[in-house]
Structure 1
Amino acid sequence: MHDPAHFLPSFVWRADRDGTIQYANPWASRYLGMPAREIVGRSWQAFVHPDDIAPVLEALRTMRDGSLLRNVEVRLRRADGAFHWHVLHLQAQRDTAGRIGDTVGVATDIHHCRDAWAMYEASERRLKAAFQGARMGAWEWDMKNRLVRMNEQLAALYSFPPGTEAVALSDLWNRVAPEYRAPFQQRVEAALYCGGPFEFDYVLDNDATPPRWLRMRGHTEFDEQGALARVHGVTFDITEQRAAEDRLIHSERRYRALVESTGALAWSAGADGEIRPASEPWERFTGAESDRLVKWGWLDFVHPDDRDRTREGWLAILQRGKTGTLTFRMRRYDGAYRVVRAHAAPLYDAHGKLQEWFGTTTDVTEQHDAQAAVEARSLRLTVAMQAAEIHIVALDLASWTLSFEIGDEPSVGDVQTYDAALAQVHPDDRAALDRYVRRLAAGDDPGGHFEFRVRNPAGEQWMEGSALLQRDAHGKPLRLIASVIDITERKRMELMLREADRRKDEFLAMLAHELRNPLAPIRTAIALLEKDGRADRRSADLIELMRRQTEHMTRIVDDLLEVSRITQGRIALQLEPILVGTAIYHAVEAIAASVEMRGQHMHVDVADATAWVRGDVTRISQILVNILNNASKYTPQDGHITISAKADDEWVSIVTTDTGTGISADLLPKVFELFSQGERTLDRSNGGLGIGLSLVKKLVELHDGTIAVQSDGPGQGTTVTVRVPRLHHHEQHSAQVLSEPAAGATPSALRILVVDDNRDAADSLAMLCEFGGHAALAAYSSAQALEIAAQLKPDVALLDIGLPDIDGYELARRLRHKGESVPLLIAITGYGQAEDRLRAQSAGFDYHFVKPVNVESLLKLLSSMTGGG
């Protein structure tokens, strides 16, 4: 029979007193990439990182001083030569003379946990730097206490002293400029009354020149009684933006004055080409009211011989959607026809959609006599009307030199060789741009626009352009002519949007975690009320109502947190073989009460009861329960829900069908989007956050599976199909089983210390322990906990992790000295990831509960310690 270590998925060896390896398990052989017989006889130091040998030797020396068990973190060399971090558990064995003989080492891989923690710390630093770089302040108004909590950036924006974290709400409002103060308060009160998100701008009361403008964006939060509890949001400095807007307004006024001073007639047109002329200038030129010129009426003033040609030319410009020029004769107020040149330029929005046309019509009769001069001027004006920011670049293919034209004038003497210009392009974009240019020069059509970055003293600059090949009279490539525009600001906005999306994910994670804290004392208080036998029937119904709603709230918070974790890539699956039939029956059992309460009929069909998949038990259950809950939620009374499983050689398909409300065709493509929902009913019975299917899809994809939703429309029911890769018998592996701790002598009633800086949570948990027949005292800080523990001598300590003075990990180490087993340490925390549990275990905790605590599980654990369970 094999040694138990033979099956462990951990690095296990046994070495003698001199450090020579006597045994290595198969996992160690696979990790090191050599047979066990080659490992035996070598020193353990051959596989440990040189920098980590000294800590191992120190741990061995400490064991020889009396202890027989030590843990140390080391890096072990893998088969490919890379070192991975492990926790090495060392245990010494004494020989018959009482001396330490062989030493057993068990190494557990923690490499990814260390990387994840480093990434988390880096993310926190980046967020803080982002707030500082954007000069953006975050805040929260406590409306019940009339306090404002703020970060250091907001304190700086309002010129509060450094280190200010909270001020009275009135102090914040008094920082607004007097002339803006009353409108500011009115807009705040209106936004709070409406209850939705709000945003507005205001000026601070200071002597800054120009005045400091701030923009506030906030969101309200109400308590369970509907009273306004908190308002939270961000504030950022928009002084430069407001100044830029003012400059833009002045620039438009100057531009209009400039156009009018040249004698040109300005006009605009809709995207359909219908003209909207400026009233006074056109009335002076034509002698007719402007109403006669709108839309297509202006054609009546065009010379009859030019009318059809001008109409077709304008339609051609509209079809191309690009800047165009028309020359034609137009009747003046005195009846004379004047030669005019009309220039039209399209105006597009940020998404490339045509909004309108802007144009000018100029009397060029005098210039028309000098045709050559008019053509030269026409070419420069056409390029100038593109936009002041567009650069025209010409590449002479005979000499491969570039010349530049900015605005309406060529840059005299500004000529560069192609290689010199290419050297100024960012190295990452250089090869792609060169391929584009050479393909175009060879007569190919690379198509579309090109983008590249240029390095200059002011920093990195993004450019976008398009180019055409010009040929000579014999068709030989002559030169490339390109127009290039600066798109740095657009790229900056794209990066800001991606950053805002990342902050949104982090905010959702923070929100879900913070919501767990108030849920914990509520759930505990409800459990106490349920166990109080003195409640009458009406009170019992109300308590049951609160319990159901609290559980519903807990599920919503958990779903929100799960979506955020998956989005940020913080979910790690614990994969093991799972029997599909068992997983389905467990999911059906979990929602059976809900189905029965709604008067629905559940059908289960598992044709192949021996089909296996590799998955995370918790996540597979989460997938199936979420799908079944959705089916039950949208299926009426006496409706039917069917879940079945079928398997082929490659896949296991789990199909859930219902006779419910179905999904409309317009919603069906969006069912997997976060916060996407169908139409709510007036009673909101089908409400929720629209998280469920988005979470399910992400979890299925983490299992390398697929999910599809089908419905023939409203009232036609819904079918959800989940496909997961099948696991065959030869691929199964034994799952790791942890042994239960040995039972010790415990009193019939425990002395329990409860520590939480949330007084409601601490007091309600202490009351729950007392209800179970134990003696419990609550402490609201680590310092108070240490004082109480010195007197109480607790058997059990229930510790919150996120304490303000000394965190729960350090408090655990101070409450229980090395080598002792009392008090039993139980973590009560909102942090429930695998790395959180590992950290709690390393700090000495025996058990780990995630808020809100499952009351029955906690009471059952305490009862088992007294021999009562």
Structure 2
Amino acid sequence: MYDPAQFLPSFVWRADRDGVIRYVNPWASRYLGIPAEQIIGRTWREFVHPDDIDTVLDAVRQMRDGNLLRNAEVRLLRVDGAFRWHTLHLQAQRDESGRIGDTVGVATDIHHCRHAWAMYEASERRLKAAFQGARMGAWEWDMKNQRVRMTEQLAELYSFPPGTEAVALSDLWNRIAPEHREPFQQKVEQALRCGGPFEFDYLLDDGVMPPRWLRMRGHAEFDGHGELASVHGVTFDISKQRAAEERLVLSERRYRALVESTGALVWSAGPDGNIRPADEPWGKFTGADPVQLENWGWLDFVHPDDREFTRQAWLDILKRGTASWIAFRMRRYDGRYRMVQAHAAPLHDEHGTLQEWFGTTTDVTAQHEAQAAIEARSLRLNVAMQAAEIHIVALDLDSWTLSFEVGSETLEGETLTYEAALSRVNPDDRPVLDRYVRELAAGGDPGAHFEFRVQGQRGEQWMEGSALLQRAPDGKPLRLIASVVDITERKRMELMLREADRRKDEFLAMLAHELRNPLAPIRTAIALFEKQDGIDGRSADLIRLMRRQTEHMTRIVDDLLEVSRITQGRIALQLEPILVGTAVYHAVEAMAASVEARGQHMNVDVSDATAWVLGDATRISQILVNILNNASKYTPEQGNISISARADETWVEIVTTDTGTGISAELLPKVFELFSQGDRPLDRSSGGLGIGLSLVRKLVELHDGTITVQSEGEGRGTTVTVRLPRLHHHERHSAQVLSGPGTSAKSAALQLLIVDDNRDAADSLAMLCESEGHFTRTAYSSAEAIEAAAQLRPDVALLDIGLPDVDGYELARRLRPKDATTPVLIAITGYGQADDRLRAQSAGFDYHFVKPVNVEGLLTLLSSLTERGQASGAASGAT
């Protein structure tokens, strides 16, 4: 019999339900180094790495759900005793009873791929660390769309919020200091015209002190038509370099000024020490002919009390043959003696032979005066340090003891062993501080600053400090010198701000949830009014007005809740391939009634009907409906709205334009900020909370997309562009769609139990269901519900989740025993996240509705349940 597995260069086996191997191909025998007849009868567990056995078992268990194909990555034992990574493709076969029988496994070696991927990830980490350590960020300018993509290091350099990956090019340039902005743009334009690489230095306008200087290096790229397409490059922080250069320039200016002000005298001497003074400077200083100073004649101008000492010091320098200096008093042209300092340095040839001495003699009287000024300044600094309670701590690395001082005064008796001092630090901060100290003592660089909490006289205090390592001349670490300042008040304010921000987020979430409860009975009451016959025209208009305003309020609450969920990181996307044209038409259909009511004209253009994106269908619809709703809201009656979709190889672009009020130049940079709004009329007839575009941007970014808003000004309309990554290779997924039931006679009614602690919500929902011919019973607590269920034996139970005594999850378990099918359980709740639905499903709920309840959807569901009941009855009768 022909066996294709005989020729596969892959590990193939077949095992029975107990895991016993019944077949292996020749490749498996060669890989394991065991003849096939010796492998058959053994279990597959013997050849799989022990840590990967659970992975295989999990894959097998998942096949019991109906899908008989599973993949897993495992390590298989090779003949040399090494384990290598393989992708294991498992396919189960059912026996005659429908149970899983044999399982076939095909293993493909991916060891080198795994190893290469690990090396790639390590390389990426090293590159990121290198960029971080070098304070360097990479970027790409998209010149056609005027956008900048950047690494997180570059975002940090420009002080953009964490997580920023792309900004408008203008946002980047606006971060440059105003006085550098125009020259910078001119240099960039000139470099781009030339087409070669460029490099510029510029100053940021971010209020940081000292100023932050950046250096940009880039290279332009042109497309096939010779048009500028993009610019790539890196930017790194050169603030320290610029500061050092400025200090050097300043130091040179000071030195020149000092030399000129002190009248430094230049001289040279032979190897024997005979002086040859420069003519003009020496003549000006001494008022004598410089010839009188040659050889040893200069000693005649030295103060008699210093003459012998100076002579002997010069002879000692000549004997040592090394650079040195002498300070002494020397007579000036006016007969006054000035304190001078003579520096001498030997000059040798390439063989080490002394050629001559080079020296300067400088009047240092002014330096003495400057030293006095420095000492006075130091005194003022010490006073300021004492006032600011800046503590200087010294850790002696020989004895590991600490001494403390404030300003320049050492505190007597304030000496502690390192362990004793560390014991005063908060236990949570102790390991971090100890690691910092020991790393610095070992010569490492743990960072510029450290923070810790310490138990002091005023309770627990937050301290911030910085330290440096002091070494001996031979390089041996001597001591750590640290300055420490109390930042308790600042920390307290930070914690208060964080707590206030957390409470704000919780308040928004709770506010949105609580607003849903009163909306539920209002929406139900409106539905009841709409079902009444004989309503006059004015009443019908009022009912439609209430429905519009209720729907508007519902959208506001939903937007508020969505923003809160995104802020708290509780949004999880359900990604699937989505046809962009379908998404656009669905959004247009959802807005059609509103647009028509305002007499507006909408134009739809989807030029590429086959463009796909990977996204969450609900969230994509939410994005487009929100944008169209904004366009309709700010466009006057008879205005025009257009939405178009087009795609290139990388992106799908959805553009919405309108002829509405537009956006002012002042508001345009802030349109994505939460609660940001433009000017509104006093009646706020089309107003909102100003969270729509903020929500839209967050949802777009969750899809790895971008959104931009453009407007030429007030009264000139607005253009919103959403760009999403295009999906080229997608799988078609089948989806089960619940079809709406057909119309049926109302003769069959359901017994409904409605439970809600909000009496208005329960009673209005009961009235609505009764209008459809159903029999209802309301309960306002779990206890009442259990008692009513025993009497009514309901077909369907509609339960609020947030009940005060026993919550809706537990009530559902009590109303319907395990394995029972009645009553049908429907959750009515203000919580609609995916995890809320999963929790309801695990509690036994069959359906899940979010407040305020979609009336049409609920009535349609009840109608379908009625038809199922009729069908069941007909089947029973036929039997």
Bucket of the pairwise TM-score, normalised by the shorter protein: 0.5 to 0.7
CA separation of 1:38 and 1:642: change in aligned 2, threshold 3 A: farther
TM-superposed CA distance for 1:770, in Å, is 0.7
User: How far apart, in 1, do the equivalents of 2:397 and 2:783 lie?
Assistant: 83
CA separation of 1:698 and 1:376: change in aligned 2, threshold 3 A: closer
Q: State the AA in 1 paired with 2:573.
A: L
Q: Which residue of 2 aligns with 1:597?
A: 597
User: How far apart, in 2, do the equivalents of 1:17 and 1:782 lie?
Assistant: 48
Residue 387 of structure 2 aligns to a residue in which SS?
coil
Residue 653 of structure 1 aligns to a residue in which SS?
strand
- Kept in 2: contact 1:746–1:865 (CA 8 A): no
Q: Which residue of 1 aligns with 2:631?
A: 631
Aligned length: 536
CA separation of 1:416 and 1:828: change in aligned 2, threshold 3 A: closer
Greater Cα offset, 788-797 or 601-610: 788-797
TM-superposed CA distance for 1:707, in Å, is 1.0
Residue 832 of structure 1 aligns to a residue in which SS?
coil
CA separation of 1:673 and 1:20: change in aligned 2, threshold 3 A: farther
- Kept in 1: contact 2:396–2:402 (CA 8 A): no
CA separation of 1:811 and 1:375: change in aligned 2, threshold 3 A: closer
- Does 1:491 find its partner at 2:491? yes
- Kept in 2: contact 1:454–1:460 (CA 8 A): yes
User: How far apart, in 2, do the equivalents of 1:482 and 1:842 lie?
Assistant: 58
Q: Which residue of 1 aligns with 2:607?
A: 607
Q: Which residue of 1 aligns with 2:181?
A: none
- Kept in 2: contact 1:391–1:404 (CA 8 A): no
TM-superposed CA distance for 1:683, in Å, is 2.3
Q: Which residue of 1 aligns with 2:750?
A: 750
Q: State the AA in 1 paired with 2:387.
A: A
Q: State the AA in 1 paired with 2:718.
A: T
CA separation of 1:650 and 1:769: change in aligned 2, threshold 3 A: same
Note the 1:558-577 alignment, pairs <5 A: 558-577=558-577
Q: Which residue of 1 aligns with 2:134?
A: none
Q: Which residue of 1 aligns with 2:432?
A: 428
- Kept in 2: contact 1:22–1:41 (CA 8 A): no
Q: State the AA in 2 paired with 1:674.
A: L
- Kept in 2: contact 1:381–1:408 (CA 8 A): no
CA separation of 1:649 and 1:855: change in aligned 2, threshold 3 A: same
Q: Which residue of 2 aligns with 1:383?
A: 382
Residue 604 of structure 1 aligns to a residue in which SS?
strand
Residue 787 of structure 1 aligns to a residue in which SS?
helix
Q: Which residue of 1 aligns with 2:799?
A: 799
TM-superposed CA distance for 1:614, in Å, is 0.5
Q: Which residue of 1 aligns with 2:844?
A: 844
Q: Which residue of 2 aligns with 1:722?
A: 722
- Kept in 1: contact 2:462–2:491 (CA 8 A): yes
- Kept in 1: contact 2:746–2:772 (CA 8 A): no
CA separation of 1:620 and 1:419: change in aligned 2, threshold 3 A: same
CA separation of 1:683 and 1:20: change in aligned 2, threshold 3 A: farther
Residue 666 of structure 1 aligns to a residue in which SS?
coil
- Kept in 2: contact 1:654–1:722 (CA 8 A): yes
TM-superposed CA distance for 1:656, in Å, is 1.2
Q: State the AA in 2 paired with 1:698.
A: K
Residue 646 of structure 1 aligns to a residue in which SS?
strand
TM-superposed CA distance for 1:388, in Å, is 3.2
Residue 655 of structure 1 aligns to a residue in which SS?
strand
Q: State the AA in 2 paired with 1:595.
A: V
CA separation of 1:440 and 1:421: change in aligned 2, threshold 3 A: farther
Q: State the AA in 1 paired with 2:570.
A: R
Q: Which residue of 1 aligns with 2:586?
A: 586
Q: State the AA in 2 paired with 1:734.
A: H
CA separation of 1:662 and 1:622: change in aligned 2, threshold 3 A: same
TM-superposed CA distance for 1:740, in Å, is 8.2
Q: Which residue of 1 aligns with 2:825?
A: 825
Residue 503 of structure 1 aligns to a residue in which SS?
helix
- Kept in 2: contact 1:658–1:719 (CA 8 A): yes
Structure whose alpha-carbon radius of gyration is higher: 2
TM-superposed CA distance for 1:576, in Å, is 0.7
TM-superposed CA distance for 1:807, in Å, is 2.0
Q: State the AA in 1 paired with 2:598.
A: R
Q: Which residue of 2 aligns with 1:768?
A: 768
User: How far apart, in 2, do the equivalents of 1:453 and 1:525 lie?
Assistant: 60
CA separation of 1:618 and 1:803: change in aligned 2, threshold 3 A: same
CA separation of 1:411 and 1:440: change in aligned 2, threshold 3 A: farther
TM-superposed CA distance for 1:470, in Å, is 12
- Does 1:393 find its partner at 2:392? yes
CA separation of 1:809 and 1:660: change in aligned 2, threshold 3 A: same
CA separation of 1:430 and 1:856: change in aligned 2, threshold 3 A: same
Residue 867 of structure 1 aligns to a residue in which SS?
helix
TM-superposed CA distance for 1:482, in Å, is 6.4
Q: State the AA in 1 paired with 2:505.
A: D
Note the 1:311-390 alignment, pairs <5 A: 380=379, 382-390=381-389
Note the 1:510-659 alignment, pairs <5 A: 510-659=510-659
Spell out, residue by residue over 1:767-811, the C-alpha distance to the aligned partner (whole angstroms, 9 max, x if none). Answer: 111100111111112222222222222221111122222222222
Q: State the AA in 2 paired with 1:707.
A: I
User: How far apart, in 1, do the equivalents of 2:786 and 2:644 lie?
Assistant: 56
Residue 390 of structure 1 aligns to a residue in which SS?
coil
Greater Cα offset, 387-396 or 522-531: 387-396
User: How far apart, in 2, do the equivalents of 1:79 and 1:469 lie?
Assistant: 50
CA separation of 1:632 and 1:461: change in aligned 2, threshold 3 A: same
- For structure 1, the residue ranges without an aligned partner over 5 or more in a row are 1-13, 24-36, 58-69, 82-92, 106-370
Note the 1:93-104 alignment, pairs <5 A: none
CA separation of 1:658 and 1:416: change in aligned 2, threshold 3 A: same
TM-superposed CA distance for 1:407, in Å, is 6.0
- Kept in 2: contact 1:756–1:762 (CA 8 A): yes
User: How far apart, in 1, do the equivalents of 2:42 and 2:505 lie?
Assistant: 48
Residue 684 of structure 2 aligns to a residue in which SS?
coil
The TM-score normalised by the length of structure 1 is 0.53
TM-superposed CA distance for 1:732, in Å, is 2.7
TM-superposed CA distance for 1:583, in Å, is 0.4
- For structure 2, the residue ranges without an aligned partner over 5 or more in a row are 1-13, 24-39, 76-93, 104-369, 871-879
TM-superposed CA distance for 1:461, in Å, is 4.6
Residue 550 of structure 2 aligns to a residue in which SS?
helix
Residue 867 of structure 2 aligns to a residue in which SS?
coil
Spell out, residue by residue over 1:572-613, the C-alpha distance to the aligned partner (whole angstroms, 9 max, x if none). Answer: 111111000110111111111222222222121212110000
Spell out, residue by residue over 1:633-675, the C-alpha distance to the aligned partner (whole angstroms, 9 max, x if none). Answer: 1112232222111111111111111222121222222111111
TM-superposed CA distance for 1:700, in Å, is 0.6
TM-superposed CA distance for 1:817, in Å, is 2.5
Q: Which residue of 2 aligns with 1:702?
A: 702
Q: Which residue of 2 aligns with 1:450?
A: 449
Spell out, residue by residue over 1:222-277, the C-alpha distance to the aligned partner (whole angstroms, 9 max, x if none). Answer: xxxxxxxxxxxxxxxxxxxxxxxxxxxxxxxxxxxxxxxxxxxxxxxxxxxxxxxx
- Kept in 2: contact 1:525–1:764 (CA 8 A): yes
The TM-score normalised by the length of structure 2 is 0.53
User: How far apart, in 2, do the equivalents of 1:39 and 1:690 lie?
Assistant: 68
Residue 825 of structure 1 aligns to a residue in which SS?
strand
User: How far apart, in 1, do the equivalents of 2:740 and 2:529 lie?
Assistant: 33
CA separation of 1:557 and 1:80: change in aligned 2, threshold 3 A: farther
User: How far apart, in 2, do the equivalents of 1:814 and 1:468 lie?
Assistant: 68
User: How far apart, in 1, do the equivalents of 2:95 and 2:745 lie?
Assistant: 28
Spell out, residue by residue over 1:507-533, the C-alpha distance to the aligned partner (whole angstroms, 9 max, x if none). Answer: 111111111111111110110011111
Q: Which residue of 2 aligns with 1:325?
A: none
Q: State the AA in 2 paired with 1:821.
A: T
CA separation of 1:749 and 1:726: change in aligned 2, threshold 3 A: same
TM-superposed CA distance for 1:554, in Å, is 0.7
Q: Which residue of 1 aligns with 2:670?
A: 670
- Kept in 2: contact 1:462–1:486 (CA 8 A): yes
TM-superposed CA distance for 1:676, in Å, is 1.0
CA separation of 1:42 and 1:391: change in aligned 2, threshold 3 A: closer
CA separation of 1:846 and 1:478: change in aligned 2, threshold 3 A: closer
Q: Which residue of 2 aligns with 1:209?
A: none
Note the 1:134-145 alignment, pairs <5 A: none
Q: Which residue of 1 aligns with 2:790?
A: 790
- Kept in 2: contact 1:467–1:482 (CA 8 A): yes
Spell out, residue by residue over 1:391-429, the C-alpha distance to the aligned partner (whole angstroms, 9 max, x if none). Answer: 352769999997532267431354679999899785435
Q: Which residue of 1 aligns with 2:835?
A: 835
TM-superposed CA distance for 1:40, in Å, is 10
Spell out, residue by residue over 1:145-195, the C-alpha distance to the aligned partner (whole angstroms, 9 max, x if none). Answer: xxxxxxxxxxxxxxxxxxxxxxxxxxxxxxxxxxxxxxxxxxxxxxxxxxx
